[in-house]
């Protein structure tokens, strides 16, 4: 099933605004900030670092790249003209930053022109990850680095017990919001086939209980998309959302995602 992000060019303005809000919520959560500090902070620095951010969205994650990677120049590409407009407005007062319409398989950037290509929660939405890896290889300088961060979304859970009906809402969200929940499990092998020297995967646990703002938006957007796809009626959508909110209020909510990061080098 093609998820909303795969068809991002075709989404109406109200859907894009919801996705952008979710990007901001996730980027600002302390748990995600700590994960970004860990995996981005481990990226080796080079002088005059030029970075290409694939799937930059509205620029929410770009703030972490600027903070933890500290590039001299950053180019962000995204297939959504609306997101590119948002990103340009967000960083209008910053120099050394450029945002262009483009996607993971056709960035529009020159050969061997970047020291680092970074993709933050992008590959799970790609129908053709192998071609995206080839494109990253093309635009990287010899010795350049690719860093991919994404969820191993098949691990997503909000269940408190076997058969928990709220887990059905998470399954609906995954069907409609992620093209390939398993892609990070195959990415090392795919990257080696392209020619990258691949480093071991690193795991980043993400658990939310008392303030699960991002997971609440994920569930709400997911069941809403499920309703639009004809999977359920509005009463069930509202029931799932109400149950999640009631668990937060009662202090019983639990949600977890396993994120993975992969580093790979283009041989010098």
Tokens of 257: 């995602």
* Token pair 């939310």 in the structure block, residue: 208
Q: Give pLDDT, residue 21.
A: 87
Tokens of 265: 């080098």
Q: Give pLDDT, residue 18.
A: 78
The full 3-state SS of 186-234, as one line of letters, equals HHHHHHHHHCCEECCCEEEEEEECCCCHHHHHHHHHHHHHHHHCCCCCH
- What DSSP assignment string belongs to 231-263? SS-HHHHHHHHHHHHHHHHHT---EEEEEEEEE
Q: Which domains does the chain have, with CATH numbers?
A: 8-152+180-207+261-265 (3.40.50.150)
Q: Give pLDDT, residue 90.
A: 96
Hey, is 243 helix, strand or coil? helix
- Would you give per-residue pLDDT tens digits along the chain (268 residues)? 444 445 555 666 777 787 888 899 889 999 999 999 999 999 998 889 999 999 999 999 999 999 999 999 999 999 999 999 999 999 999 999 999 999 999 999 999 999 999 999 999 999 999 999 999 999 999 999 999 999 999 999 999 999 999 999 999 999 999 999 999 999 999 999 999 999 999 999 999 999 999 999 999 999 999 999 999 999 999 999 999 999 999 999 999 999 999 999 999 9
Which residues pair with residue 204 across a beta bridge? 259
CA 61-67-73 angle, 5° bins: 85
Q: Give pLDDT, residue 1.
A: 45
Whole-prediction pTM value?
A: 0.92
């Amino acid at each position: 099933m093609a998820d909303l992000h795969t068809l991002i060019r075709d989404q109406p303005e109200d859907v894009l605004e919801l996705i952008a809000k979710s990007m901001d919520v996730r980027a600002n959560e302390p748990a995600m900030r700590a994960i970004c500090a860990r995996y981005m902070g481990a990226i080796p620095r080079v002088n005059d670092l030029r970075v290409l951010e694939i799937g930059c969205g509205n620029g929410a994650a770009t703030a972490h790249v600027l903070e933890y990677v500290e590039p001299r120049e950053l180019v962000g590409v995204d297939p959504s003209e609306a997101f590119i407009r948002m990103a340009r407005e967000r960083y209008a007062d910053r120099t050394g930053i450029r945002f262009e319409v483009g996607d993971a398989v056709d960035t529009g950037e020159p050969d061997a022109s970047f020291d680092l290509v970074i993709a933050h929660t992008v590959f799970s939405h790609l129908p053709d990850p192998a071609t995206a890896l080839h494109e990253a290889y093309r635009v990287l300088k010899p010795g350049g680095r690719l860093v991919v961060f994404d969820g191993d979304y098949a691990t997503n859970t909000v269940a408190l017990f076997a058969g928990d009906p709220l887990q059905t809402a998470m399954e609906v969200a995954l069907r409609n919001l992620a093209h390939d929940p398993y892609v990070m499990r195959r990415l090392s092998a795919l990257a080696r086939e392209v020619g990258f020297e691949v480093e071991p995967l690193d795991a980043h646990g993400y658990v939310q209980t008392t303030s699960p703002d991002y997971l609440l938006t994920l569930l709400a957007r997911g069941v809403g998309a499920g309703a639009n796809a004809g999977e359920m009626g509005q009463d069930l959508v509202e029931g799932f959302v109400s149950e999640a909110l009631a668990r937060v209020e009662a202090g019983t909510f639990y949600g977890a995602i396993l994120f993975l990061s992969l580093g790979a080098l283009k041989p010098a």
